[in-house]
Structure 1
Amino acid sequence: MSATVETAVRSQVETDAAIRNARPLRLITCGSVDDGKSTLIGRLLWDTKAVKEDQAAALKGQKSIQQNELGLPDFALLLDGLQAEREQGITIDVAYRYFSTDKRSFIVADTPGHEQYTRNMATGASTADLAVLLVDARAGLLEQTRRHATIASLMGIRQFVLAVNKIDLVDYDRSIFEHISTEFRQLALSLGVTNVTPIPVSALLGENVVHSGHQSMPWYSGPPLIEALELATQRTAQAVGFRLPVQRVSRPNESFRGYQGTVAGGSVKPGDSVVILPSGTVANVRQIVTFDLVRNAAVAGDAITLVLDRPVDVARGDMIASVDAAPVSGLAFDAKLVALSEDAIAPGKRYWLKSSSRRQRVRVEPQSVLDLKSGQWSEAESLPLNAIGKVHLAFDETAIFDPYEANRETGAFILIDPDTNNTVAGGMITAKSGRIDGIGSGAKDRVLISLPADIADELLASEAFATLRDQIEIRRVSAQEARSVLDPID
């Protein structure tokens, strides 16, 4: 073997080993109801030998559910574990499964197609690297297909595999496959997604899932699904500075004070300068501690206790960040929402906003809603269930975010209805708002009064104001922020 060939072989072996040792690729299956998502993943698990022997024997023993002429069981039962799912033949909850090939390992989330379970689909998409979007070859793109594609793109997924399923039921018609592929590529482009791999498949027969379907589809020269997944890339680390949302202050004795949390971005090492937000206090990192050792550095995903070189006022919900690459803070932000409650997102209503370890009061002002049929944004005063909209957020106290595109951990949030404690929406920060007041155009006959903190607290605690609490805007701001509000008035 020549030196050149030997070098090439060694390089390929090292590359394959690196792929195998990397973290699993996380993917979701999504699309409209009855497009065959559970069947596709069940077939994928079956053909990659990821089904345990006892589970396979149990499925084969259920003669009442034999589904095809091959004598194989209903593959969807490998994913649909709830009794209601098996009775109705639908997916309700998100089912996570692990499987692997010689080249790579995977974690797949099978998400429901019904519109009423959109929140479950959004949950699966929030951690995925890639989306496998299924389309029934007989039906083409449907509204729910567009909704799932839009939510996946909002969640930052930039790789799609378009699985045109049930191709056998249209006699392997190439023109149908190409028409659906072209239509979806246009949708993907409107969402800012360019990485799309269309594959014609028959999940039931196993064609172009793990094994090639060339015999039935000689006109298709691309890879089967499993090969497309093996070649997919993971989401790269987002380019932001160090982020540590503080979960807990550790004070086991008078000589130790540490700030605990999971690193949400960037990296840190002893000696680095950090800023505590929202106070703006600057300190240096003295030590990084985990449950069993002292570390020289920490990166995104690490659960750590951070010890600083001086006493500072830090509480749960604060964020410790890089001095030279701090997140954005302010009283008003623009965002996109997916409405998840039957009660519409109403303008001006006060919600709890939960992001990382921080919970704050916020008013939501809907700006526009996405028409899933036309792909156009139109003005909206409220956001009904499953709507995707653009909103303006106005906070009572300083909020701390990164744009979602820059950091999905510090740019995502949920809205909680304070009356019911139900999660009513999931959202992604797009930018800090350029509006000066951050209150919203709907605020009429409103007066801004500046009081010393102790007097304001005493006033708000009085019985006279207790019944008016939800009608009063409270803004605890620094002198600099107050000046920025009042300067335009001078």
Structure 2
Amino acid sequence: MDATAPRELLRLVTCGSVDDGKSTLLGRMLFDAGLLHDDDIARLGDPPDFSRLLDGLAIEHEQGITIDVAYRYVATARRDFIIADCPGHAEYTRNMATGASTASVALVLVDARKGVLTQTRRHSWICALFGIRRVLLVVNKMDLVDFDAARFDAIESEYRELAAAVGIAEVTAVPVSATAGDNVVRRSENMPWYAGATVLDWLETVPVEQVDLDRSMRLPIQRVHRNGQDFRGYDGNLVAGRLRVGDRVVVLPSGQRSRIRSLYVAGKPADEARQGQAVTVTLADHIDVARGDLLAPVDAPTDCADQFSAHLLWLAETPLLPGRLYGLRLASSSAVARVTAIRHKIDVDSQEPLPATRLAMNEVARIHLSLDRPIAWEPYAQSRELGGFILVDRQSGQTVACGTIDFALRRAANIHWQDLAIDRAARAASLQQRPRCLWFTGLSGAGKSTIANLVEQQLHAGGRHTILLDGDNVRHGLNRDLGFTQEDRVENIRRVAEVAKLMNDAGLIVLVSFISPFRSERRMARELLGEDSFVEVFVDAPLEVCEARDSKGLYAKARAGQLRNFTGIDSPYEPPASPELHLHNHGQPPENLAQEVLRYLEQGSGG
């Protein structure tokens, strides 16, 4: 072979249910193919435990399972491999999704004794979700079923039905015993009825996805590169096509146009760059380009949108609640995202759609997604880089979901902001006051409405124009269709925040008295109304005090199990971390606390 010729690289992911033998299969394959170093062989022990090669975490050795994604870089005479050995337990599905998102083929292992299990179905669905269309079905532990051909045929038939249902186009099945090495690298004498390829043969000959240089160029901007006073470059990884000096490009989503003035690959000047290369470009015109923008050819721009239909795999222990805000990351772009609807979740066993109002960990659903700004995108089936995204919890920074875009929703395509002659400032000036939103939060019975009423009376007496939005009152009208589940509470606060913003725009001082138990939704309200307008007032009273004040008997009903999802009893309250005002409503008259609020407004020119 020509040692200087470029080598093919195959990325593969191994998946299946726990104890199906994924790590053992890979370890055995590397051992039999002579691809292990002496220190690797020494780690196998006597008798050899091939799974030890990839189960790299100490806790995995103790429990005998794979938890993390173990990567192995392997080179045979024919090609190079990056192997992702993924965990089989359901609670580690997020790790399996990580491995599948970069792989082009999958090895799906099935225990010959157990057949196709729920986790096999879940992993196969996730492989299909992330664009894997070729699967090697490895029916392992054939020695434990006496190398029964009928058993192998039955599992193969069942899996082919599953593959067809989830969208996997090509399945090759091979019977193996990973422990003994049957059909892993060498053909098995115990299964003369099987005439197909071994595992290694298949991996070395399965077609590798080729780089398509005829695709339209796509360059997500990762960094603005300043080198001295006169150099302004834009760094990024070329995810599609080729780029040349002199090419005319459009910057998305702004739509500005320019020409490639210079191009650098690996820090050196170049006339051309190809897909997969990290590049720096400079433009002929001084235009505004920032991280998250996308460069595309002027004659073949990609689409920009802010609403999408997508598939989502939920990864967090806390459920997905429609309406809650998350951070979205797609290529180098970022946005604030809200799942506006769960169209249906998907049963991993039957692939049937199921109704859902929330998603639990490891559940998959088709959703509608709304962003706070348009981004450049492409369907995931066309581009993994511009169609795959993650959602991030904006408080903890943890990744809570990964998803794939199917298509854009055109609901807002023809809706534009109407310029109004009379704006917020004009209305506020006519009323001679500064619009504010006083957001009173706390447990039921803490005294929110009482204090808010007193504050409004004093503001009204001083000639201020106000409106009080009380939780119970709003639920008689605008929000009468909402209950008290976490999903409904999120939507309850979203609607009230939108109303408060409209009233602020009208120049009013708005007082909102809602339990609003979740920090995420109070943060959403703050961002919507603006930092200069939003005043969080935490009315703090011990739970036992709130119960003693409860003239409606709600706490008693909740403790008796007659009132579900009651904040403080069977539904959590997340107290504010740093409210503008913290009112301790225990042991002093509410009139004194109302005066604290008024003093705060006077000091901030709010009254």
Q: Tell me the TM-score normalised to structure 1 length.
A: 0.84
Q: CA deviation at 1:125?
A: 0.8
What amino acid is aligned across from residue 168 of structure 2 in structure 1?
V
CA distance in 1, matches of 2:215, 2:179: 44
Q: Which position in structure 1 is the counterpart of 2:573?
A: none
Q: Which position in structure 2 is the counterpart of 1:432?
A: 408
Q: Which position in structure 2 is the counterpart of 1:5?
A: none
Q: CA deviation at 1:457?
A: 11
1:185 partnered with 2:239: no
Q: CA deviation at 1:436?
A: 3.8
Q: CA deviation at 1:251?
A: 2.1
Alignment of 1:357-372 (within 5 A): 357-364=332-339, 365-372=341-348
Q: Which position in structure 1 is the counterpart of 2:524?
A: 470
2:190 alignment partner, SS class: coil
Q: CA deviation at 1:182?
A: 0.8
* Of 256-265 and 165-174, the range deviating more from structure 2: 256-265
Structure 1 residues 252 and 463: alpha-carbon distance in aligned structure 2, compared to 1, 3 A threshold: farther
CA distance in 2, matches of 1:244, 1:237: 15
Structure of greater Rg: 2
What amino acid is aligned across from residue 217 of structure 1 in structure 2?
M
- Residues 393 and 438, structure 1, Cα contact 8 Å, conserved in 2: no
Equivalent in 228, 231, 253 of residue 228 of structure 2: 253
1:422 partnered with 2:401: no
CA distance in 1, matches of 2:299, 2:109: 44
Alignment of 1:262-281 (within 5 A): 262-281=237-256
Q: Which position in structure 2 is the counterpart of 1:482?
A: none
What amino acid is aligned across from residue 369 of structure 2 in structure 1?
L
- Residues 346 and 383, structure 1, Cα contact 8 Å, conserved in 2: yes
Q: Which position in structure 1 is the counterpart of 2:7?
A: 22
Q: Which position in structure 1 is the counterpart of 2:198?
A: 224
Q: Which has the higher contact order (CA 8 A, sep 6+)?
A: 1
What amino acid is aligned across from residue 81 of structure 1 in structure 2?
G
Equivalent in 57, 63, 73 of residue 42 of structure 2: 57
Q: Which position in structure 2 is the counterpart of 1:157?
A: 132
1:83 partnered with 2:58: yes
Identity %: 44
CA distance in 1, matches of 2:274, 2:366: 32
Structure 1 residues 325 and 473: alpha-carbon distance in aligned structure 2, compared to 1, 3 A threshold: farther
Question: Cα RMSD between the aligned structures?
Answer: 2.6
Structure 1 residues 147 and 252: alpha-carbon distance in aligned structure 2, compared to 1, 3 A threshold: same
Structure 1 residues 375 and 253: alpha-carbon distance in aligned structure 2, compared to 1, 3 A threshold: same
CA distance in 2, matches of 1:322, 1:456: 41
CA distance in 2, matches of 1:93, 1:450: 52
1:130 partnered with 2:99: no
What amino acid is aligned across from residue 204 of structure 2 in structure 1?
E
Q: Which position in structure 1 is the counterpart of 2:25?
A: 40
Equivalent in 371, 385, 390 of residue 366 of structure 2: 390
Structure 1 residues 359 and 104: alpha-carbon distance in aligned structure 2, compared to 1, 3 A threshold: same
Q: Tell me the TM-score normalised to structure 2 length.
A: 0.68
- Residues 265 and 273, structure 2, Cα contact 8 Å, conserved in 1: no
- Residues 390 and 401, structure 2, Cα contact 8 Å, conserved in 1: yes
Q: Which position in structure 1 is the counterpart of 2:285?
A: 310
1:348 alignment partner, SS class: coil
Q: Which position in structure 1 is the counterpart of 2:265?
A: 290
- Residues 166 and 351, structure 2, Cα contact 8 Å, conserved in 1: no
- Residues 161 and 198, structure 1, Cα contact 8 Å, conserved in 2: yes
- Residues 43 and 53, structure 2, Cα contact 8 Å, conserved in 1: no
Q: CA deviation at 1:272?
A: 1.1
- Residues 17 and 117, structure 2, Cα contact 8 Å, conserved in 1: yes
What amino acid is aligned across from residue 46 of structure 1 in structure 2?
F
1:21 alignment partner, SS class: coil
Runs of 4+ deviating beyond 4 Å: 448-453, 455-459, 465-469, 472-475
2:164 alignment partner, SS class: helix
- Residues 394 and 438, structure 1, Cα contact 8 Å, conserved in 2: no
Q: CA deviation at 1:402?
A: 0.7
What amino acid is aligned across from residue 27 of structure 2 in structure 1?
G
CA distance in 1, matches of 2:417, 2:202: 60
- Residues 285 and 309, structure 1, Cα contact 8 Å, conserved in 2: yes
CA distance in 2, matches of 1:458, 1:95: 61
- Residues 395 and 438, structure 1, Cα contact 8 Å, conserved in 2: no
- Structure 2 unmatched ranges of 5 or more: 428-433, 440-496, 498-522, 530-607
1:322 partnered with 2:297: yes
Task: Write the deviation string for residues 347-376 of structure 1: whole angstroms up to 9, x where unpaired.
Answer: 111111011221101111221111012121
2:384 alignment partner, SS class: coil
CA distance in 1, matches of 2:319, 2:42: 47
Number of residue pairs aligned between Structure 1 and Structure 2 = 439
Alignment of 1:97-246 (within 5 A): 97-213=72-188, 215-237=189-211, 240-246=215-221
What amino acid is aligned across from residue 464 of structure 1 in structure 2?
R
